[in-house]
């Protein structure tokens, strides 16, 4: 009998397990409302759908350059000029099969097995799982009210001193999943300067850009050309299933990324690239979707504390409420299972994001319609009484 690799022994992504169970219950006729995954209820913008339909009708779908089409990279360059006032050479942009491919490419290109990378705790579980599967050491650095729920040079120094681990990389998301933290320009600048001074690679996950409701949204590219920026069309652009994202790279990293991408992915899907190029011009439609998230956020900010689910961190950006459930349980996994089984509301247990303290927290996504979110909160309120 063949063996199974140790690298595959990563924790399950509980949000996806919850989604699978919610889908099964919905198919069986249960009135499930999912607040488990960060998936917009809105479809891809109409301009993207129109471009994709036309491309399909013409049948011109095939391989592209490994790092994406010239058209999409030029459109992304214009995006940075218009939104951030930056002149980004399209040659520094790599189009990827979702942000997940971007993380794979970054980790494989920047680090060797055994190298250590810092991430925030609580933080997106796929970071930890991908890094672990690639044989890298993960240094989870706690982010609390004292650190404004973000990584800081001081917290990185303290974590290295306590663990005896020296870092080769730092990965920060802003806005962050699950905490909603927005790290402002000064915080990003301090991290970029710290990483530069210590020859540490700085990876900035900006996939929730466009979904900042409080605080200062800035790209690491505004502060340094050495940052590796990863972004995606999944969140603001409502294109999760299209699996299309991008990276902005220091010039010297482009060719190494391309070499790895050629063998791992051949190229990003052309149909998705065509749709994404059109989506970049759909800000009017997408800002209406963003306004619906803002309304959902206001609802949760008002209702959740009143039913005993106070936010455990700021809800400044992204579309998540990370709530403290310790008033009711110290088993968020069990709570999430019972919530789905008894009131048909799907949520993600905090253990996904924080293996040490997550038994006391739950993540609720408010990317659904306003009616769904209001109904879900009402169900939870009655259930918890």
pLDDT tens figures, 232-291: 999 999 999 999 999 999 999 999 999 999 999 999 999 999 999 999 999 999 999 999
The mean pLDDT of 70-78, rounded to a whole number, is: 98
Query: What is residue 147's predicted lDDT score, i.e. its pLDDT?
Result: 95
Query: In Å, how far are 81, 92, 122, 174, 209 from 219, measured between CA atoms?
Result: 12, 15, 21, 9, 8
Distances (CA, A) of 68 to 109, 238, 262, 383: 18, 20, 11, 49
Task: Please give the mean pLDDT across all residues of the chain.
Answer: 96
pLDDT of residue 239: 98
- Domain 60-281 matching CATH 3.40.640.10: the answer reads yes
pLDDT in tens, 328-357: 999 999 999 999 999 999 999 999 999 999
User: For position 9, what pLDDT does the model report?
Assistant: 84
Q: What is the pLDDT of residue 6?
A: 87
Distance CA 157, CA 148 (A): 16
Give CA 361 to chain center in angstroms. Answer: 18
Model confidence band, residue 55 (pLDDT cutoffs 50, 70, 90): very high
| Strand-pair category, 169-173 with 116-121 | parallel
- pLDDT at site 133: 95
DSSP single-letter state for residue 363: E
Domain with CATH 3.40.640.10 in the chain: 6-44+284-384, 60-281
Helix H segments across the chain? 14-27, 46-58, 70-84, 98-110, 125-133, 153-163, 185-197, 254-264, 270-279, 283-306, 332-343, 370-384
Q: What is the pLDDT of residues 95-143, one digit of tens each?
A: 999 999 999 999 999 999 999 999 999 999 999 999 999 999 999 999 9
Residue 15, pLDDT > 80, answer no
What pLDDT score was predicted for residue 136?
97
Among 254, 227, 217, CA closest to 94: 254
CA distance 245 to 250: 17
pLDDT of the residue at 7: 86
Residue 30 Cα distances to 19, 26, 262, 341, angstroms: 14, 5, 44, 10
Give the pLDDT confidence of 282-323 residue by residue, as tens digits.
999 999 999 999 999 999 999 999 999 999 999 999 999 999
* Alpha carbon distance 315, 166 (integer Å): 32
CB of 191 within 8 A of CB of 172?
yes
**CB-based contacts of 314, cutoff 8 Å, min separation 6:** 149, 179, 180, 181, 182, 214, 215
List, for residues 150-193, the tens digit of each pLDDT value: 999 999 999 999 999 999 999 999 999 999 999 999 999 999 99
| Dist. CA 57–CA 376, nearest whole Å | 40
Residues 119 and 169: their CA atoms lie apart, in Å, by 9
Task: Tell whether domain 6-44+284-384 is in CATH 3.40.640.10.
Answer: yes
Report the pLDDT value the prediction gives residue 346, as an integer from 0 to 100.
95
């Amino acid at each position: 009998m063949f063996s199974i690799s140790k690298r595959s022994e990563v924790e399950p992504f509980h949000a996806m397990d919850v989604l699978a169970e919610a889908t099964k219950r919905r198919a069986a006729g249960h009135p499930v409302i999912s607040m488990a995954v960060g998936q917009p209820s809105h479809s891809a913008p109409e301009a993207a759908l129109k471009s994709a339909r036309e491309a399909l009708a013409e049948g011109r779908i095939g391989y592209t350059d490994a790092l994406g089409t010239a058209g999409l990279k030029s459109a992304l360059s214009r995006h940075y000029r218009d939104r951030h006032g930056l002149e980004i050479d399209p040659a520094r942009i790599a189009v990827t099969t979702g942000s997940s491919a971007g993380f794979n490419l970054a980790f494989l290109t920047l680090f060797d097995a055994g190298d250590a990378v810092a991430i925030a705790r609580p933080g997106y579980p796929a970071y930890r799982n991908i890094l672990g599967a690639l044989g890298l050491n993960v240094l989870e650095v706690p982010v609390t009210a004292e650190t404004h729920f973000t990584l800081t040079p001081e917290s990185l120094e303290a974590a290295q001193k306590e663990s005896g681990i020296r870092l080769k990389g730092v990965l920060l998301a802003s806005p962050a999943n699950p905490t909603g933290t927005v790290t402002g320009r000064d915080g990003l600048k301090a991290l970029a300067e710290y990483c530069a001074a210590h020859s540490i690679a700085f990876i900035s996950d900006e996939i929730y850009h466009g979904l900042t409701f409080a605080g200062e949204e800035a790209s690491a590219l505004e502060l340094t050309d050495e940052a590796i920026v990863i972004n995606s069309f999944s969140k603001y652009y409502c294109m999760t299933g299209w699996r299309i994202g991008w990276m902005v790279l220091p010039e010297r990293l482009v060719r190494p990324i391309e070499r790895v991408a050629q063998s791992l992915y051949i190229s990003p899907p052309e149909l998705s690239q065509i749709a994404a190029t059109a989506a970049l011009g759909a800000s009017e439609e997408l800002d209406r979707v963003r306004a619906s998230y803002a309304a959902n956020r206001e609802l949760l900010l008002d209702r959740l504390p009143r039913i005993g689910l106070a936010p455990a961190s700021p809800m400044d950006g992204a579309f998540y409420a990370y709530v403290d459930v310790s008033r009711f349980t110290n088993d968020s996994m069990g709570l999430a299972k019972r919530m789905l089984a008894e009131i048909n509301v799907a949520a993600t247990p905090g253990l996904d994001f924080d293996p040490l303290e997550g038994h006391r927290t739950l993540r609720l996504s408010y990317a659904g319609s306003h009616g769904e979110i209001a109904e879900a909160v009402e169900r939870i309120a009655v259930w918890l009484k």
